Amino acid sequence: MTFRLSSRAVGATLFLSALAGAPAQAAVLCTVVADAADGRIVFQQGTQQACNTRYTPASTFKLPIALMGADAGVLKGPHEPVWNYQSSYPDWGGDAWREPTDPARWIKYSVVWYSQLIARALGQEGFQRYTTAFHYGNEDVSGEPGKHNGTDGAWIISSLRISPLEQLAFLRKVVNRQLPVKPAAYDLAENLFEVGKVGDWRLFGKTGTGSPGDNGVYTSANAYGWFVGWARKDGRQLVFARLVQDERTTKPNAGLRARDDLMRDWPAMVDVPRK
């Protein structure tokens, strides 16, 4: 997928240059925004190398998992199925992860074990088949080296990797409904991933927090934070990805801060007057 840098993107970058000198909790590795229709980049921040480098997708992969689950009939709607927490499930997300969970709650609280149950319902072969058909990043959902645990979290500091520009390529397919899934899968994604409004823009997306490595071990001192998704205003649709990295342990997590900062910066990135 080819993305072209527009003159408007250059203007937006200059418009935001003052922000670069401000104190920050995390370094912005890459922010990219593109027109969903033609792939034209309207804003880019960060080096081309950083924007092309692959990182763990972490919980941003819940969007592909939701599309897979809905297409396969595992997910029936925003409130079905409801699955109960078991003591063997991951619960580092706190009390919110120990409650009965439906798809809406899964996304709201980013519940890892619900993702695992969907992936297991697909089976490793089905999980791989969807990931390959989506052309998602490096398409590797085998899991940690030698453990064959892909459905347990290939997307969490493990085998699966994706770059910010590859996130845009995937998101364009979502927005333009070009993936091999049923229409109902896109409809469910629209329902589950709406974040809110920034001015007249409606934003949809998912955060993710991970760190370097491939063994499933999270280190907060150099955490990655993602926020990826799409935005809609007056018939115009944009796709976006922001990736930051912490230099020290910081709260809230890097993904939430990537989301909040992108939403704060959004008007300056996309609403710069045309010259």
In the numeric block, which tokens belong to residue 43?
A: 């804003």
Catalytic residues: 59
CB burial of 17-50 (b: ≥16 within 10 Å; e: otherwise) equals: eeeeeeeeebebbbbbbbbbeeebbbbbbbeeeb
Contact predicate 150/128, CB 8 Å: yes
Return the beta strands (E) in the chain as ranges: 4-5, 26-35, 40-45, 194-198, 201-210, 224-233, 236-246
* CA distances, 6 to each of 62, 249, 267, 273 (Å): 30, 36, 17, 14
Tally of CB atoms within 10 A around 185: 21
- Write the burial class of residue 254 (CB in 10 Å: 0-12 exposed, 13-18 middle, 19+ buried): buried
